[in-house]
Structure 1
Amino acid sequence: MTGEPVLVFDGDCGFCTTSVGLAERLVGIRARVVPWQRADLPALGVTRERAEYELLWVEDGRVRGGAQAVAGLLIAAGLPWSPLGFLLRLPPVRWVAHGLYRLVAANRHRLPGGTPACALPPREPSPGPSAPPAGAGPAEGR
């Protein structure tokens, strides 16, 4: 996939919807913004499981999730936001950003605008060693 980047978020989550709206107003997202529930996920190279789990930035066939999706949208927004996006890609800032993203994502149903519908679906137990996990693929941003 080439062309305009795509930001995929959870449209059923009030916290996520509010956060994306805030980013659109403050940062000026330069991408097509679509809830995963209305996105053509296979065309984007994304599984439903991954879309339920984290914010996604899809650009030039590459999928970045979580804090790295945020980095992608900041970089695409240009100045003054792009330096922060590049910073989010560098260790150890990347590691800290990942941890903070996971903490917020795991508690988004408790945050302002959040509802019980915002809770992440429970992770399925890992399959046996002979079968790859559902949606296995590049784990960038996870």
Structure 2
Amino acid sequence: MRERPLLVYDGDCGFCTSAVRFGERRVRPRCEPVPWQFTDLDALGVTTDRAEHEVLWVTPAGTVYGGARAVAKALLSAPGAWPLLGALMMLRPLRWAADGLYRLVAANRHRLPGGTPACAAPPRTPRGRTPS
């Protein structure tokens, strides 16, 4: 069993990689950041589709948090004042705002600093259908 949580992110996305590197330098969460492309997603109980669309926080016990909740968990694990921000992000009214902001950033990460067209997440398809 791992001792530290994993922060699973899109290693092909320049924006995502830059954000994780910034977090490592400034926020210093207590986790192991790993690109999903170099992770055994099946062992984590995570689908490729989910990993392509959101950052994931995977606890040593195997609980998976995605999107804004993963960011909040990373902040909660950090030293200093960061856990306060993480705790606020988990409160219901602010959690909804954090979820919306996360989805907005994730959908437009290819347009943000460090992003490239390769950063655009593939479109989601309804279950049982393949993209045309």
**TM-score interval, normalised by the smaller of the two chains:** over 0.9
Matched to 2:53, the amino acid is Y
Instruction: State the Cα deviation string for residues 37-92 of structure 1 (Å, max 9, x = none).
Output: 00111111211111001000001211000000000000011321111111111110
Trace 1:51-130 onto structure 2 (pairs within 5 A). Answer: 51-59=51-59, 60-127=61-128
Q: What is the distance in 2 between the residues matched to 1:39 and 1:127? A: 25
Deviation, 1:100, is: 0.2
Matched to 2:39, the amino acid is A
Q: What is the distance in 1 between the residues matched to 2:38 and 2:100? A: 28
Q: Percent identity?
A: 62
Deviation, 1:2, is: 5.1
TM-score, reference length from structure 2? 0.92
Partner of 2:22: 22
Q: What is the distance in 2 between the residues matched to 1:31 and 1:22? A: 14
Q: What is the distance in 2 between the residues matched to 1:58 and 1:66? A: 12
Unaligned runs of 5+ in 2: none
| Alignment root-mean-square deviation, CA | 1.3
Q: What is the distance in 2 between the residues matched to 1:126 and 1:42? A: 19
Unaligned runs of 5+ in 1: 129-142
Larger proportion of helix: 2
Deviation, 1:126, is: 3.7
How many residue pairs end up in the alignment?
A: 128
Matched to 1:88, the amino acid is M
Q: What is the distance in 2 between the residues matched to 1:46 and 1:127? A: 18
